Structure 1
Amino acid sequence: MKFSHIVYFCLAVTFAQAQTPIHLIPQPVRLEPQSGAFTLSKGTTIEYNQADGRVVAEMLSQQLNVPTGLGLLPKAGKSGKIQLTINETHDNQLGQEGYTLDASPKRIVITANKPAGLFYGIQTLTQLLPKEIESKTAVSQTWSVPAVRISDYPRFGWRGVMLDVSRHFFTKEEVKRFIDQLAELKFNTLHWHLTDDNGWRIEIKSLPKLTEVGAWRVARTGHYGDRPSPKPGEPKPYGGFYTQNDIKEVVAYAQARNVTIVPEIDVPGHSMAALAAYPELSCTKAQVNVDPGTPFSEWYGNGTFKMKVENTLNPSDENVYAFLDKVFTEVAALFPNPYIHVGGDECYKGYWAQDPGCQALMKQLNIRHVEDLQGYFMNRVEKILTAKGKKLLGWDEILEGGISPGATVMSWRGIKGGIEAAHAGHNVVMTPTTFAYLDYNQGDPTIDPPIYANLRTQKSYSYEPVPEGVDAKYILGGQGNLWTEQIPTLRHVEYMMYPRGWALAEVYWSQKEAKNWPNFVQRMETHFDRADVARINYSRAVYDAIVRTSMNGDKLRLELAGEVPGLDIYYTTDDTMPDQFSTKYTQPVDLPDGNITLRVVTYRSGKPIGHLITLTRDALQKRVGRF
């Protein structure tokens, strides 16, 4: 985008906010406010100029009719009050997913090269309507759209979110609801993590025990990773799986909303659920259970770990590859996209090192390090996928041991793996923990349920997916990852997803030059209101104080900050409850000695807005240098 366009864009948004605020997420490439507004009525017609636009027109009528009660019916034509037009001549700038939207007091026209562009145009149109358009029941009010001209197209072709359904099973109706939310934000990829240690979620008809055994575990509550192991003979009622008919239904539902589903079958590690069903595929052949969240591994500070229970397929056993051929034959038939994700992450090789078959294979391959067996395994898997017309996609560990040039890498351990992969000529999807892990705490760890890391919305919004020095042509795009060890319900999925998911939607769709955190905050707050109407859960952690400590000589120094503009932070250390008449934080302060308790609260415009944070001196001491 040229500098003149950036200036004009900012002026346009400012002008629009002076009239009717236009708070779109993700931000479009160009937005030019016009005078007046278009008002929906029972006489509003929805028309599409080509048959390919019919499905999108029908979706628009459904989106509008529930809250408005207007009963609008789409039809073929070129003169609708809301006109959906597929271009006769291809507009190179719009590409496959771009659109233009021209709303005047008389008419709304959305144009695109493809139905996908029309679909994203109607998502923008819905955001231009009042928040009550998100209502699940009819609302009596005026339905107006501010006059505006928008030209929009995505920066990246891969804009995704990963949903882990192994740790907790989500029904197909819940997955559909999640897909609806992704599509509204112009995400176009759902990475579906279907198998792991805690449950196998996809029916494989040739291997029925995968779901008869691998989809079910004992019922457990409490913090994941601290739960007791299954007892002999204990019932296993917790879990579930998708039949192949379920999968077909969800895939078709997603396709209609321009969302591609990429399935993940996580191998060779993270395979405990598969081994519970078929223990002969492991090195030890020992019977294991589908894990309910026990402490089955020990992690060390340098990133290495040890498994207490075997969860890895045996790379020296030909039966493993026959098993995987059956699995991938059926998976490939269910998912029409070109990729199958095969995991490859966190593969513990201790059992391989002790296995005579693995040692013999290493001698045969003339390799000295057991880690290199993963490269052998992944190359065997890639041959299986290639035979089925699929491309291999895996976490960045697949770079270890060597992979073919055609493999695509998902960089999750920071950006290092993505840089290495791109320099080697691999296509890359950027999804680093440091910006895109949506299971991390988004506020103070004393407020949110505890987990091992923290990621604030502002940090996610600040992400730049193309690393410096990397040819952008290798960066397909990126995604947010939502692991569900600590997320048992769809409501909590939403809580962890938003507003960080809104931030990442903008990172992957909008132009780099348009990024503006204070402006995003305004739009985010509008979407809080819209989410309330839509009954979508979200976190308000952006309003909480950020509490850091350091040492100033022998004194404990307190540093407070706010994530969003305009917050006033108040605190106490005298065992009183803070309010706007307590001490206002203005600069770092040395805390008094003694067994104090810090209490912090945020206000905006004279009203409390954030959570109360309470920290003992011991807790403050432990934070030194950590946040």
Structure 2
Amino acid sequence: MKKTLFLLVLSILTLDVFAQNIIPKPVEIKNIAGAYNITAATTIGANNAESQKIAEMFAAKLQKAAGLTPKIQKTGAIQFTINATPNTIIGNEGYTLEATNAGVKIAANKPAGLFYGFQSLLQLLPKEIESKSVSKGVKWNVPGVKVVDYPRFGWRGLMLDVSRHFFSKADVKRYIDDMVRYKFNTLHWHLTDDNGWRVEIKSLPKLTEVGAWRVARDGHFGDRKDPQDGEPTSYGGFYTQDDVREIIKYADERGVTIIPEVDVPGHSMAAIAAYPYLSCTKDPKTKVNPGTNFAEWYGGGKFRMFIDNTLNPSDEKVYEFLDKVFTELAALFPNKYIHVGGDECYKGFWEKDPGCQALMKKMNMHEVEQLQGYFMKRVETILNAKGKKLLGWDEILEGGISPTATLMSWRGVKGGIEAAKMGHDVVMTPSTFAYLDYNQGEATIDPPIYATLRLSKTYSFDPVQEGVDPKYILGGQGNLWTEQIPTIRYAEYMTFPRAWALADIFWSPKDSKDWNNFTKRMEAHFERADAAEMGYSKAVYDAIVKASEKDGKLIAELGSELADVDVYYTMDDTMPDNFSTKYTQPFEVPDAQITLRVATYRNGKPIGHLITLKREDLKKRVGR
């Protein structure tokens, strides 16, 4: 009897913990007595055609993972309901969810909210619900719970760059599936850049005949060999307009809006390779860039381009070209925005171009930066004529922008603060918190990239900065640039778990933020990601190694992002384990040919990567 009671209590406690593992964290979640067990007899209810679609998605999940084929009818034990009378608390994307012994009820005002309730229901079920095949011996229990949930921000985005590396239609759908598990609702689709033009424009066929393909190159992006004349351009790809429509439909069924980006006037080498007349230099030998170094960076945002990758703002043919591009894009994408880039536009070729100088004189411009403002206003006029709003990176502030333009703040938060104070709508996506291509942990373990962004730093982000009126902050976004990301699984590895942190930030109440609580939920989702065969990084388990100098001595400082992880180290050419020296405080590194080896453990078990650094490596970290 005692054993039975113990097992019952353990089962209830396990389910209660289960209920608290939802990402993003719900506004209100209360454990209640009981649990609903899904069986072969379970029915699914849907009160109209819109809720029926979500009920069918859930039934498909159960069939794949549990081997169950529940009947869908008007009312059922698991009920999906679009409210006849709106619940004013939850808005358009919120939902209520209640699970008891008798069943599960999910209700929302709109299909998007019902879909997010469905995602929370999936997270309440055992991790095997994410499996791609039937899991045997699983009890499909939904813990007793009551949830009232709605988002903090309306814009909860991720950006996928498909120019640096092309991702197939199936890959893009997979990324959308990854997003919606965590209630992201916006996919920013970076479709064009120096390294490839990825969307069919029927009136400009060379954009994909030429601009979508480049020479094949191995090695680190930025260190590759220049393309040679006559070399075959075998790497690349593009989306036909039918592909785009299919992906938009797929996203729409899952509550995701797709924002297309055509990056102009800079980052346009692929377009110029197809149509050389678009640039100032009009070089017919311009090629789609395969990842070579074609710029010199001086710091502080200053740089010089070796190759002209910028559209000519003084040439009317450029605006005729853009009108054709945006005419076709506006017809394809139903959302109100088209992103036009505007970032990292090198103006050195404009300074030397007679046409640009003549335009500056005609328009009484005193600085070449004003040409970008002129260009952007012309582009905005084109977009507005097609019923679209201009969206761009924070450089569009240079040279002035119209009051109706919307800005994405990527160079930190400064541009977003400035734009919001000017009355512009802003999406906060600063590289300092939200660039998912940045290294996630120890630089000697993950492949090299030019900056580091740890999970804890991402989690510390808040889109509404001090002194800014929140009404101008649409929300936030994580950006995944893909110079070093050739596959969709590695795209997942770089996106998660940092995007889980962003999901909490964009959805959950600000005052609910709790790092220790988040990391516990994160670890539960590592297991769910394994079941889903989804990529993710465990860099959060690795030690943090810093160095400083004091009184001429080299000092090492070790740490961890997690409070319950122990750090051990050696400097005597032995491999560290949990019987080695445990780190408790900064220590002096001997002035000798030593190697510092660092390992992390939890509860006596190894948990992170082994980090190995020579003394000279540590010295390079001083001051960082």
Q: TM-score, normalised by structure 1?
A: 0.96
> Does the 8 Å contact 2:196/2:211 carry over to 1?
yes
Counterpart check, 1:268 vs 2:265: yes
* Residue identity opposite 1:435 in structure 2: F
Counterpart check, 1:135 vs 2:131: yes
* Alignment equivalent of 1:97, drawn from 93, 96, 105: 93
> Does the 8 Å contact 1:155/1:511 carry over to 2?
yes
SS in 1 for 2:299: coil
User: Residue 326 of structure 2 aligns with which residue?
Assistant: 328
> Does the 8 Å contact 1:158/1:478 carry over to 2?
yes
Counterpart check, 1:126 vs 2:138: no
CA distance in 2, matches of 1:20, 1:193: 39
User: How has the CA–CA distance of structure 1 residues 405 and 385 changed in structure 2, closer, same or farther, with 3 Å as cutoff?
Assistant: same
Correspondence list, 1:216-365, <5 A: 216-287=213-284, 288-365=286-363
> Does the 8 Å contact 2:98/2:104 carry over to 1?
yes
CA distance in 2, matches of 1:31, 1:338: 34
How big is each residue's C-alpha offset from its partner over 1:374-421, in whole Å with a ceiling of 9 and x where there is no partner?
000000000000000000000000011111111000000000000000
CA distance in 1, matches of 2:322, 2:70: 50
> Does the 8 Å contact 1:20/1:146 carry over to 2?
no
CA distance in 2, matches of 1:571, 1:363: 66
CA distance in 2, matches of 1:466, 1:19: 33
> Does the 8 Å contact 1:168/1:487 carry over to 2?
yes
User: Residue 541 of structure 2 aligns with which residue?
Assistant: 543
Cα distance, 1:575 vs structure 2: 1.4
Cα distance, 1:16 vs structure 2: 5.9
CA distance in 2, matches of 1:46, 1:258: 21
CA distance in 1, matches of 2:407, 2:17: 44
Cα distance, 1:101 vs structure 2: 0.2
* Alignment equivalent of 1:588, drawn from 581, 586, 596: 586
* Residue identity opposite 2:186 in structure 1: T
SS in 2 for 1:21: helix
Cα distance, 1:62 vs structure 2: 1.2
> Does the 8 Å contact 2:15/2:143 carry over to 1?
no
SS in 1 for 2:114: helix
User: Residue 30 of structure 1 aligns with which residue?
Assistant: 28
Counterpart check, 1:80 vs 2:76: yes
Q: Give structure 1 regions of 4+ aligned residues with deviation exceeding 2 angstroms.
A: 15-22
User: Residue 157 of structure 2 aligns with which residue?
Assistant: 160
Cα distance, 1:49 vs structure 2: 1.4
* Residue identity opposite 1:138 in structure 2: V
User: Residue 446 of structure 2 aligns with which residue?
Assistant: 448
SS in 1 for 2:18: coil
User: Residue 420 of structure 1 aligns with which residue?
Assistant: 418
Cα distance, 1:61 vs structure 2: 1.1
> Does the 8 Å contact 2:434/2:479 carry over to 1?
yes
Cα distance, 1:56 vs structure 2: 1.2
User: Residue 49 of structure 1 aligns with which residue?
Assistant: 47
* Alignment equivalent of 1:213, drawn from 202, 210, 217: 210
CA distance in 2, matches of 1:607, 1:293: 41
CA distance in 2, matches of 1:301, 1:436: 20
* Residue identity opposite 2:279 in structure 1: S
User: Residue 393 of structure 2 aligns with which residue?
Assistant: 395
User: Residue 370 of structure 1 aligns with which residue?
Assistant: 368
CA distance in 1, matches of 2:71, 2:36: 18
* Residue identity opposite 1:95 in structure 2: G
User: Residue 5 of structure 2 aligns with which residue?
Assistant: none
How big is each residue's C-alpha offset from its partner over 1:414-453, in whole Å with a ceiling of 9 and x where there is no partner?
0000000000000000000010000000011100000000
Cα distance, 1:51 vs structure 2: 2.3
Structure 2, unmatched stretches of 5+, are: 1-11
SS in 2 for 1:525: helix
How big is each residue's C-alpha offset from its partner over 1:506-539, in whole Å with a ceiling of 9 and x where there is no partner?
1101111111111111110110001001000111
> Does the 8 Å contact 2:18/2:124 carry over to 1?
no
User: How has the CA–CA distance of structure 1 residues 318 and 19 changed in structure 2, closer, same or farther, with 3 Å as cutoff?
Assistant: closer
User: Residue 7 of structure 1 aligns with which residue?
Assistant: none
Seq. identity, %: 66
> Does the 8 Å contact 1:32/1:150 carry over to 2?
yes
User: Residue 622 of structure 1 aligns with which residue?
Assistant: 620
* Alignment equivalent of 1:202, drawn from 195, 199, 203: 199
Cα distance, 1:50 vs structure 2: 2.2
> Does the 8 Å contact 2:547/2:557 carry over to 1?
yes
Cα distance, 1:18 vs structure 2: 7.9
Counterpart check, 1:188 vs 2:188: no
> Does the 8 Å contact 1:26/1:509 carry over to 2?
yes
User: How has the CA–CA distance of structure 1 residues 343 and 349 changed in structure 2, closer, same or farther, with 3 Å as cutoff?
Assistant: same
* Residue identity opposite 2:519 in structure 1: V
> Does the 8 Å contact 1:438/1:483 carry over to 2?
yes
> Does the 8 Å contact 1:328/1:385 carry over to 2?
yes
Cα distance, 1:57 vs structure 2: 1.3
> Does the 8 Å contact 1:557/1:589 carry over to 2?
yes
How big is each residue's C-alpha offset from its partner over 1:255-276, in whole Å with a ceiling of 9 and x where there is no partner?
0000000000000000000000
> Does the 8 Å contact 1:16/1:33 carry over to 2?
no
CA distance in 1, matches of 2:51, 2:508: 25
CA distance in 2, matches of 1:342, 1:63: 38
CA distance in 1, matches of 2:112, 2:342: 32
Cα distance, 1:617 vs structure 2: 1.1
CA distance in 1, matches of 2:623, 2:568: 22
CA RMSD of aligned residues (A): 1.0
CA distance in 2, matches of 1:50, 1:293: 51
User: How has the CA–CA distance of structure 1 residues 18 and 256 changed in structure 2, closer, same or farther, with 3 Å as cutoff?
Assistant: closer
How big is each residue's C-alpha offset from its partner over 1:140-159, in whole Å with a ceiling of 9 and x where there is no partner?
22210101000000000000
* Residue identity opposite 1:580 in structure 2: N
Cα distance, 1:74 vs structure 2: 2.0
* Residue identity opposite 2:63 in structure 1: N
Which sits farther off after the overlay, 43-52 or 142-151? 43-52
User: Residue 524 of structure 1 aligns with which residue?
Assistant: 522
> Does the 8 Å contact 2:211/2:274 carry over to 1?
yes
* Alignment equivalent of 1:515, drawn from 497, 513, 521: 513
> Does the 8 Å contact 2:38/2:141 carry over to 1?
yes
User: Residue 8 of structure 1 aligns with which residue?
Assistant: none
CA distance in 1, matches of 2:13, 2:88: 28
Cα distance, 1:301 vs structure 2: 2.2
Cα distance, 1:17 vs structure 2: 5.9
SS in 2 for 1:300: strand
> Does the 8 Å contact 1:552/1:590 carry over to 2?
no
Structure 1, unmatched stretches of 5+, are: 1-14
CA distance in 1, matches of 2:319, 2:344: 20
- May I ask how many residue pairs the two structures share in their alignment? 610
SS in 2 for 1:598: strand
SS in 1 for 2:489: helix
CA distance in 1, matches of 2:512, 2:354: 58
CA distance in 1, matches of 2:321, 2:13: 59
How big is each residue's C-alpha offset from its partner over 1:102-137, in whole Å with a ceiling of 9 and x where there is no partner?
000111000110111110000000000000101101
